[in-house]
Structures are given as structure tokens and as C-alpha cells.
């Protein structure tokens, strides 16, 4: 019923920028929190950034000051502006929506399929 469509990933040189988007579709009444996680080869999945419907944000330590998460509640869309990218930012980035309320489900969580971000040195 709910799908998360991610876009914006790609290849960029170190120091460059990318903007990721994730749009949730379906008969959605509200989403409490949306965010981004990433997983690099051989590493555990980690939180990148998250934002609540009220605008509260949480960032992973490694991206603070470089990444900015934002959200358009009306469009059920979350964005991740990534600046000053480093090679260590290379990973698959996964969109997450938590506390999703629909006509049939309440408080469920959903994940996107992931989008590849590659930062070359």
C-alpha cells in the first residue's frame, strides 16, 4: 500500500554535492518520521539523518555540518542535501518512513529499495 520512491543518487567527485529525494505514495494520512540510512560494503547500516513531522532532526555524527535533511509533509517527501561529499560517504542510501498511518495500517514502517551514492577522490 505504501511505497517509497528514491531518486538523486549518482556519481560525484569529492567536495561535490548531491540531493536525494524520497517520496512516499499511497493512501497516507500522516508520517511521523522520515529519514535516511546508508550502508557501505563491509559495514553496518547506519543512520544518516531523520526528521519528524514537526521538524525535529537527528544526524549521524559523520555527516553533521555537511548534510541537511528537510521534509515536505504535504507531499510526503523527504530530502537529503549532501554537501562537501567525501569518498567515505559512498554507500547505498535507504529511505525510511516510520509511524506511517494509512487507511488500513497504523504506525507501520517502510523502506525504500536504496539508491547508490558514489563519491570519487
Residues of the chain below pLDDT 70: none
Give the pLDDT confidence score for residue 109 in this predicted structure. Answer: 96
Give the pLDDT confidence score for residue 68 in this predicted structure. Answer: 98
Give the pLDDT confidence score for residue 1 in this predicted structure. Answer: 83
Extract the C-alpha cell encoding 21: 529525494
Give the pLDDT confidence score for residue 31 in this predicted structure. Answer: 95
Give the pLDDT confidence score for residue 44 in this predicted structure. Answer: 96
Give the pLDDT confidence score for residue 115 in this predicted structure. Answer: 97
List the Cα angle 108/106/100 in 5-degree steps.
50
Amino acid at each position: 500500500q505504501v511505497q517509497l520512491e528514491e531518486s538523486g543518487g549518482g556519481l560525484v567527485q569529492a567536495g561535490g554535492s548531491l540531493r536525494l529525494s524520497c517520496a512516499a505514495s499511497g493512501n497516507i494520512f500522516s508520517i511521523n518520521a522520515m529519514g535516511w540510512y546508508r550502508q557501505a560494503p563491509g559495514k553496518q547500516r547506519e543512520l544518516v539523518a531523520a526528521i519528524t513531522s514537526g521538524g525535529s532532526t537527528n544526524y549521524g555524527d559523520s555527516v553533521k555540518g555537511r548534510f541537511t535533511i528537510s521534509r515536505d509533509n504535504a507531499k510526503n517527501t523527504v530530502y537529503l542535501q549532501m554537501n562537501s561529499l567525501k569518498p567515505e560517504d559512498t554507500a547505498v542510501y535507504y529511505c525510511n518512513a516510520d509511524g506511517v498511518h494509512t487507511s488500513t495500517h497504523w504506525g507501520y514502517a517502510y523502506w525504500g529499495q536504496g539508491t547508490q551514492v558514489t563519491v570519487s577522490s
